[in-house]
Amino acid sequence: MNVQMILLRFGELTLKGKNRSRFENQVLQHAKYMLRSFPRLHFIKTYGRIYIELNGEPYEQVAAALGKVFGLSSFSPVHKAEPNLASIRETALQAVRELPNRPKTFKVSVRRADKHFPHSSQELNGLIGGYVLRHMNGLKVDVHRPDVDLRVEIREEGVFVYSEVVPGLGGYPFGSSGKAMLMLSGGIDSPVAGWLGMKRGLVIEAVHFHSFPYTSERAQQKVVDLTRQLAGYTNGIKLHMVPFTEIQTKLRGGSRDNLLITLMRRAMFRITEKLAEKHDALAIVTGESLGQVASQTLSNMYTINQVVRMPILRPLITMDKTEIIRIAEMIETYPISILPYEDCCTLFVPKNPTTNPSLRVVERIESRLEWLSDEIDKAVEHTETEWISQDTPGTHDELF
């Protein structure tokens, strides 16, 4: 495909009024970062859209990178024509001839934003379509269900011809909604929750709880690899590795077995909130889905929520497992998540965890755990932080 330019479109950003320009600039900066390995690209920003001149850079590779830019509604490979009828006709014919699969039917859809152009949109549909028909044997017009909708936009900044509209990720520009801490296990759900949070404009920092030596180094590397995969949508992600062995073993030895998961989760949320405050984050993101496991019943989530003040965001709360797996496969975290390396929660699950804990009972048990506050502070103090980017070495590259 001999593509000269790519047209980028914004989605719901157009609804943001006075913030629109700021959001569009953030998308532009994110796109420039994701396309940093293509030095010949030239970016042109106009009202409501961005044009990228390829200048010889490979379209397919550039398009793959654009597929990881949040805030883009869609993009199209375009041919640019001179603002006269002869040039537009020739460019339209070239665009049809270069299609990888030759169509049997087509239609022309002209949008004349520049009202100074001497023909109306309806007239141009016929003038351009007729020219293509005369030069393409076997091609017919079908205005209802054509194989190809050849679109022509006549704007003050130029005339653009295209037929393909590639869906973008949508959402908000990365970083436009502030920072949150993602409670990242080694499972399927939490990486998806983190990705959805990023799609809504969040910068995320990942928090993982490990129980070495009960959990292996491979389990920790698995979390690094998941973080690295998410980091492919930005410049990198901070990963906070929290030592949780001491708290887990003490809880296991001195508490009611059926409340162990509830007590563990409350401790994890306390630690995550302290880390959030330390790193200027304003919310906690989790991969919880309502009713999926015992700790994710409404009663359990209510009891666990009481230990933190900041918002808890649960992007997956009403999704079923099939929906979550579909997204995990799309963002390529699924092959890593299903590797058989267990996290701390999996190893310490009691046989019969309660699904309807009493907040009063849980608080009474915690009031007798004189060591709990100190151990939470120690866990925060001894948390190790690592910057993870796409360049961070991983062990599972062969999966992709």
The string of pLDDT tens digits covering residues 114-149 is 888 989 999 999 999 999 999 999 999 999 999 999
255 against 301, higher pLDDT: 301
User: Is the model's pLDDT at 63 over the cut of 60?
Assistant: yes
CA–centroid distance for 59 within its chain: 22
User: What Cα–Cα distance (Å) separates residue 384 from each residue in 206, 266, 396?
Assistant: 12, 21, 22
Contact present, 349 and 251 (Cβ < 8 Å): no
Percent of the chain with pLDDT over 90: 74
pLDDT at 367: 93
What lies within 8 Å, CB to CB, of 64 at 6+ separation is none
pLDDT at 309: 96
pLDDT at 16: 58
Q: Region 33-37: what's the mean pLDDT?
A: 95
pLDDT at 356: 85
* 349-393 tens-digit pLDDT: 666 778 888 999 999 999 999 999 999 999 999 999 999 998 755
Contact present, 241 and 387 (Cβ < 8 Å): no
Least confident of 85-99, 194-208, 248-262: 248-262
303 against 257, higher pLDDT: 303
User: What Cα–Cα distance (Å) separates residue 13 from each residue in 73, 91, 241?
Assistant: 9, 31, 35
User: Is the model's pLDDT at 15 over the cut of 70?
Assistant: no
Contact present, 259 and 362 (Cβ < 8 Å): yes
pLDDT at 44: 93
Q: Region 261-270: what's the mean pLDDT?
A: 94
Q: What pTM was estimated for this model as a whole?
A: 0.89
45 against 257, higher pLDDT: 45
pLDDT at 19: 75
Q: Are strands 158-162 and 166-167 parallel, antiparallel or unpaired?
A: unpaired
pLDDT at 305: 94
Q: What is the overall mean pLDDT for the chain?
A: 90
* 77-120 tens-digit pLDDT: 999 999 999 999 999 999 999 998 889 999 999 999 988 898 99
Amino acid at 168: G
pLDDT at 13: 57
Confidence of residue 296 (pLDDT cuts 50, 70, 90): confident
What is the length of the chain? 400
pLDDT at 89: 97
CA–centroid distance for 267 within its chain: 28
14 against 162, higher pLDDT: 162
Spatial separation of the C-alpha atoms in residues 204 and 238, rounded to whole Å: 8
User: What Cα–Cα distance (Å) separates residue 167 from each residue in 151, 231, 234, 267?
Assistant: 16, 21, 19, 41
